[in-house]
């Protein structure tokens, strides 16, 4: 079965392929000769943004399509950046820019509780959408830890680990990340609805 990922983020593609490619053929827009697939993510929720991306690509390729949106919700920042996590430090920030802004805003704050949430929108071959979420709680560290740079991974330490996601191997992170929890629900759904 072929599933097309509605993203051009290579880090996201890598993570999803690592989790799904042993059972499914995972394609990207580039694989289907769609260059620079980008849509405006102006939804109010992660689910809305995932739907916007999935629907846009489904309309182009008419194949089962998967999109996700992930947010980091920080208690001391009134659950910001949340749905705006990707553009927290401006229109085209680097991963480092976003982390730097967050650490600056958290200076002097003792409550560093946060959680990651991933929302997946999967549109099946009939055009029906299905949603799956994954959530993991943790804390924001005082500085970057680790060499694996993807989003906020170097400053997010899951509550079940002594390491940040940035310090973990890619396989270790995939064992229980927010994205893998959501994808596990999707896999179960796909297996039950063959």
Residue 5 DSSP SS3: strand
Confidence tier at 44 by pLDDT (50, 70, 90): very high
CA 190 remoteness from chain centre: 20
Q: What is the pLDDT of residue 174?
A: 82
The helix/strand/coil state of 159 is coil
Distance (Å, whole) CA 85 – CA 37: 19
pLDDT in tens, 161-189: 999 999 999 888 888 799 999 999 999 99
Spatial separation of the C-alpha atoms in residues 4 and 62, rounded to whole Å: 10
Which amino acids are annotated catalytic? 69
Please give the C-alpha separations between residue 114 and each of 42, 58, 163, 183, in angstroms, as whole numbers: 23, 33, 15, 21
Structure confidence at residue 60 (pLDDT): 94
Name the β-bridge partners of 120.
68, 132
121 Cβ contact list (under 8 Å, min separation 6): 47, 50, 51, 53, 54, 55, 66, 67, 68, 129, 130, 131
Domain count, the chain: 1
Q: What is the mean predicted confidence (pLDDT) over 59-87? A: 96
Burial of 6 (0-12, 13-18, 19+ CB in 10 A): buried
Structural domain including 47 reads: 2-192
Tens-place pLDDT, residues 108-151:
999 999 999 999 999 999 999 999 999 999 999 999 999 988 99
CATH code of the domain containing 36 = 3.90.950.10
């Amino acid at each position: 079965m072929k599933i097309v990922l509605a993203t051009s983020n290579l880090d996201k593609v890598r993570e999803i392929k690592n989790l799904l490619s042993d059972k499914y053929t995972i394609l990207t827009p580039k694989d289907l000769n769609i260059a620079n697939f980008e849509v405006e993510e102006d939804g109010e929720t992660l689910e809305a943004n995932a739907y916007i991306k999935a629907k846009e690509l489904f309309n182009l390729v008419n194949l089962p399509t998967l999109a996700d949106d992930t947010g980091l919700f920080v208690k001391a920042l009134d659950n910001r950046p949340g749905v705006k996590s990707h553009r927290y430090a401006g229109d085209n920030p680097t991963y480092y820019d976003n982390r730097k802004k967050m650490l600056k805003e958290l200076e002097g704050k003792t409550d560093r509780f946060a959680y990651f949430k991933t929302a997946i929108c999967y549109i099946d071959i009939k055009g029906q959408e299905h949603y799956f979420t994954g959530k993991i709680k943790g804390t924001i560290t005082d500085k970057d830890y680790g060499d694996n740079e993807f989003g906020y991974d170097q400053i997010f330490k899951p509550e079940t680990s002594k390491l940040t996601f940035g310090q973990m191997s890619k396989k270790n992170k995939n064992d229980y990340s927010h994205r893998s929890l959501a994808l596990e629900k999707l896999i179960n759904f796909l297996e039950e609805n063959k």
